[in-house]
Amino acid sequence: MQLQMQTWAEVERYLETSTIAIMPIGSTEQHGPNGLIGTDALSAEAIALAVGEATDIMVAPTIAVGMAQHHMAFKGSMTLRPATMIQVIGDYVDSLAHHGFDRFYFINGHGGNSATIEAAFQEIYTAHTLGSHGGNEPSVRCRLRNWWQGPKMGALIKEFFGDKDGMHATISEVSVLQHLFPEHIKSVPDMGPPEPFRSRWSDAADYRAKFPDGRIGSHPYLATPEAGKQVFDMAVAEIAEEVAAYAKD
């Protein structure tokens, strides 16, 4: 159930029996030699829509640009400042809370977003606690779920890709995009093994110096749409179960 495909009257009827929304959130950033710049936003959105379909839960519009300052030395990457992103998340939640939604399940496609999303949740809760909403608004609850991190998903990724999946521009996410958008599969450039991981990065120039082709520890030339379908289906099944429990929690 996609919010953008409803009428206002349909949303009003939904709220008579349910007050939970799924919030897809991703990033627009380089994904190595053969990964799409939209990978994190498009994967989160597709998984969110399929979970929404399976659970009859409303899916809000995707927050498609996230916290990606460290990718900015690669063309096409975009970022929000953390402070901006906290405000964007707050305004998305407040808009829907204004209509009566009170539970927000964020399906995230980008690990670099996590700290900022959690900070945004604390800003939202603090506004309620300190009464800066006037103290008369119902409480809201927010939860963050990175789609690649469930226990079953971890086992599947291990089984399929061993230790070759990596940390960024992973085989699993590139495969998911190949499954979702086969018309945009890129021919595989000769990329060889990834740079060895020496230390964490700081700003964009530091990231590019450490990871010159954009990936971290991954072998995304091994991506296939067939593996992507299985990863995608596992994410949807595992998250649908969790979100259904969260709706009743």
Query: Contact positions toward Ni ion, by CB under 5 A?
Result: 39-40, 173
Q: How far apart are CA 97 and CA 144, in angstroms?
A: 17
Distance in angstroms (rounded) separating the CA atoms of residues 220 and 174: 7
> To the nearest whole angstrom, how small is the minimum distance from the Cβ of residue 31 to Ni ion?
6
Nearer CB in complex with Ni ion: 165/173: 173
- Shortest distance in whole angstroms from residue 38 CB to Ni ion: 10
Instruction: Give the DSSP letter of residue 59.
Output: E
Q: Which is nearer to Ni ion, 39 or 178 (CB)?
A: 39
The torsion of the CA quartet 163, 164, 170, 175, rounded to 10 degrees, works out to: -110
Tell me which residue of 85, 106, 108, 145 sits closest to 22, measured CA to CA: 106
Q: How far is the CB of 39 from Ni ion (least distance, A)?
A: 5
Nearest-CB residue for Ni ion: 40
CA distance 86 to 105: 16
Q: Which residue, 39 or 62, is less far from Ni ion as judged by CB?
A: 39
Please state the closest distance from residue 23 (CB atom) to Ni ion, in A: 17
For Ni ion, the closer of residues 55 and 172 by Cβ is 172
Q: Considering beta carbons, is residue 39 or 146 the nearer one to Ni ion?
A: 39
Amino acid identity of residue 147, one-letter, is: W
* Residue 110 Cβ vs Ni ion, minimum distance, rounded to whole Å: 5
Q: What are the distances in angstroms from CA 34 to CA 16, 71, 186, 201?
A: 45, 15, 6, 22
